[in-house]
């Protein structure tokens, strides 16, 4: 743990450990008479009554946090994890060592020594810390189409990374082994932002993708990586559920090149029951992205019976047309049984085709079908002449008929960032 060997990147498998793995017992610890030890003068016997507490803290302005730390007889965090710890950027200090996290709409109020919903941020003595700075647990060189981005440098490679944790808990999560655990429960690397930029270059990736789990929860690390990578002329894209507060999102939009939003459904009920989140803040995030001119694509995972009605598709597509415009790509992707939703079958292809028909009828220019390799709706068509301008098969780009951002057949502008 903590040492990175680039050869591990040769595949696309996630570098996680089985969190059920039983570690071998260590034999270097204390063997004495435990009961006698427990009876000996212990930490609870230290004279920290109310009077002494006041003495300790009164008149020594800055010592409140420090005194607790010293009295506890230990560092704030275990030595092996301190290198991953940074003070969090968006939070508010409250009375009695509590804090309110301001990073996502959940706005967790967190007591001393407790963590937020995401599981990767911890309050210590009224200061809030991220525990996943420079602590990626998954690193891969992926085709950009895997994110999926279909209108962003097609055929390019994205150096993709994630830390543990997530601020929602989707019952269908395909990455739950890293997203729904705390950082201590997965094997991680120690990679500072400059090293990420260097590795991306070594693997000939033009783009860094913050993906797999939820980049919002490793915001500080992501922002520093973005800066390091921009210095190396690398692009930065974010794959997110869009459940993020407006202020950090605005700062993010100023420095990254594209964002893909997993819009899980178009109903609050689904968000509450299946996602453990809320729809409204996600829609607000999409509008913020649109207003800030960031290239945005949307993925809608179609889960049979739960978010696949014609009515929901129509309302979704209409909302996109009105609020974001007809050039925002939407990917209707196929669900496969995962995590806590194993009793629901994969999405019928016909359902996905119906969703695309509804999007087309609503006037959206770029509606795709995903997770169905070889389906004709993986291709990008020119909205004017209808010819194929990007031909794809799975994650492979076979042909690009775009020049200077325009269809080579009819010179119509094709929305996106093409690099050709």
Structure tokens at 337: 């049984």
Q: Which stretch binds other proteins (CB under 8 A): 72-80, 139-147, 219-227, 322-330?
A: 72-80
C-alpha torsion 143→131→100→267, nearest 10: 30
Instruction: Round to whole Å and give the CA distance between 194 and 196.
Output: 5
Q: Which residue has the tokens 């992205």?
A: 289
Give yes or no for residue 3 binding other proteins (CB under 8 A). Answer: no
Among 111, 204, 268, 310, binds other proteins (CB under 8 A): 111
Among 160, 180, 347, 371, binds other proteins (CB under 8 A): 180
Identify the DSSP state of 171.
T
Beta strand ranges found along 125-251 (DSSP E): 127-130, 138-143, 157-162, 207-210, 235-240
Among 7, 50, 233, 350, binds other proteins (CB under 8 A): 50
Q: How many residues bind other proteins (CB under 8 A)?
A: 69
Rank residues 170 and 317 by Cβ distance to other proteins and give the closer one: 170
Q: Report, in Å, the least distance between residue 109 CB and other proteins.
A: 7
Q: Report, in Å, the least distance between residue 123 CB and other proteins.
A: 9
Q: Report, in Å, the least distance between residue 47 CB and other proteins.
A: 4
Q: Largest alpha-carbon pair distance within the chain?
A: 86
Among 3, 7, 27, 374, binds other proteins (CB under 8 A): 27
Among 7, 35, 62, 374, binds other proteins (CB under 8 A): 35
Q: Report, in Å, the least distance between residue 25 CB and other proteins.
A: 5
Q: Report, in Å, the least distance between residue 273 CB and other proteins.
A: 9
Among 112, 194, 224, 327, binds other proteins (CB under 8 A): 112
Instruction: Round to whole Å and give the CA distance between 412 and 142.
Output: 30
Give yes or no for residue 97 binding other proteins (CB under 8 A). Answer: yes
Instruction: Round to whole Å and give the CA distance between 141 and 174.
Output: 18
Instruction: Round to whole Å and give the CA distance between 384 and 152.
Output: 20
Give yes or no for residue 113 binding other proteins (CB under 8 A). Answer: yes
Q: Which stretch binds other proteins (CB under 8 A): 14-22, 236-244, 285-293, 322-330?
A: 14-22
Q: Which stretch binds other proteins (CB under 8 A): 38-46, 257-265, 374-382, 390-398?
A: 38-46
| Contacts of 28 by beta carbon, 8 Å cutoff, 6+ apart | none
Sign for the CA dihedral angle at 6, 211, 219, 172 comes to negative
| Contacts of 76 by beta carbon, 8 Å cutoff, 6+ apart | 69, 82, 85, 124, 125
50 backbone dihedrals φ, ψ, rounded to 5°: -60, -45
Give yes or no for residue 59 binding other proteins (CB under 8 A). Answer: no
Rank residues 19 and 415 by Cβ distance to other proteins and give the closer one: 19
Give yes or no for residue 340 binding other proteins (CB under 8 A). Answer: yes
Q: Which of 164, 167, 165 is nearest to 188 (CA)?
A: 164
Give yes or no for residue 72 binding other proteins (CB under 8 A). Answer: yes
Q: DSSP of 75-98, one letter per residue?
A: -SS-GGGGGG-EE-SSEEE-GGG-
Among 16, 91, 104, 115, binds other proteins (CB under 8 A): 115
Q: Report, in Å, the least distance between residue 74 CB and other proteins.
A: 6
Measured CA to CA in angstroms, residue 85 lies from 121, 195, 226 at distances of 9, 17, 19
| Contacts of 218 by beta carbon, 8 Å cutoff, 6+ apart | 120, 130, 132, 133, 135, 162, 163, 165, 210
Instruction: Round to whole Å and give the CA distance between 367 and 157.
Output: 23
Give yes or no for residue 54 binding other proteins (CB under 8 A). Answer: yes
Give yes or no for residue 276 binding other proteins (CB under 8 A). Answer: yes
User: Which parts of 254-273 interact with other proteins (CB under 8 A)?
Assistant: none
Q: Report, in Å, the least distance between residue 159 CB and other proteins.
A: 29
Give yes or no for residue 109 binding other proteins (CB under 8 A). Answer: yes
Among 306, 352, 382, 407, binds other proteins (CB under 8 A): 306
Give yes or no for residue 350 binding other proteins (CB under 8 A). Answer: no
Sign for the CA dihedral angle at 198, 200, 206, 211 comes to negative
Rank residues 69 and 198 by Cβ distance to other proteins and give the closer one: 69
Among 1, 3, 33, 350, binds other proteins (CB under 8 A): 33
Residues near other proteins (CB under 8 A): 18-23, 25-27, 29-35, 37-39, 41-50, 52-54, 68, 71-74, 77-78, 96-98, 108-109, 111-119, 169, 180-182, 184-185, 276, 304-306, 340-345
């Amino acid at each position: 743990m903590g040492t990175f060997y680039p050869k591990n990147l040769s595949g696309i498998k996630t570098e996680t450990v089985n969190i059920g793995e039983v570690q071998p017992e260590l034999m270097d610890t204390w063997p004495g008479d435990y009961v006698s030890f427990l009876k000996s003068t212990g930490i609870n016997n230290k004279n920290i009554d109310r009077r002494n507490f006041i003495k300790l803290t009164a008149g020594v302005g800055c010592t409140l946090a420090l005194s607790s730390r010293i009295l506890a007889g230990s560092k704030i965090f275990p030595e092996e994890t301190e290198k991953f710890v940074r003070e969090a950027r968006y939070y508010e200090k409250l009375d009695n060592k509590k804090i309110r996290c301001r990073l996502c709409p959940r706005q967790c109020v967190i007591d001393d020594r407790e963590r937020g919903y995401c599981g990767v941020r911890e309050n210590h003595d009224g200061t809030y810390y991220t525990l996943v700075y420079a602590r990626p647990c998954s690193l891969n060189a992926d085709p950009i189409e895997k994110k999926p981005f279909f209108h962003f440098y097609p055929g390019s490679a994205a150096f993709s990374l994630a830390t543990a944790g997530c601020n929602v808990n989707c019952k269908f999560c395909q990455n739950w082994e890293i997203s729904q655990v705390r950082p201590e429960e997965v094997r991680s690397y120690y990679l500072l932002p400059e090293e990420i930029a260097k590795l991306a270059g070594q693997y000939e990736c033009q783009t860094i993708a913050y993906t797999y789990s939820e980049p919002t929860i490793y915001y500080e690390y992501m922002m520093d990586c973005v800066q390091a990578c921009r210095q190396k002329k690398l692009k930065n894209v974010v794959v997110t559920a869009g459940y993020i507060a407006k202020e950090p999102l605005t700062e993010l939009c100023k420095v990254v090149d594209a964002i893909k939003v997993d819009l899980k459904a178009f109903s609050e009920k689904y968000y509450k029951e299946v996602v453990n989140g809320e729809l409204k803040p996600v829609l607000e995030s999409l509008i913020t992205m649109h207003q800030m001119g960031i290239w945005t694509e949307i993925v809608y995972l179609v889960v049979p019976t739960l978010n696949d009605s014609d009515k929901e598709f129509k309302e979704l597509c209409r909302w996109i047309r009105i609020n974001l415009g007809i050039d925002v790509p939407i990917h209707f992707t196929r669900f496969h049984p995962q995590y806590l939703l194993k009793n629901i079958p994969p999405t019928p292809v016909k359902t996905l085709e119906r969703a695309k028909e509804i999007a087309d009828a609503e006037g959206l220019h770029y509606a795709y079908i995903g997770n169905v390799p070889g389906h004709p709706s993986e291709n990008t068509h020119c909205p004017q002449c209808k010819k194929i301008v990007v031909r794809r098969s799975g994650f492979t780009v076979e042909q690009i008929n775009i020049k200077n951002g325009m269809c080579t057949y009819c010179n119509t502008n094709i929305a996106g960032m093409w690099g050709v």
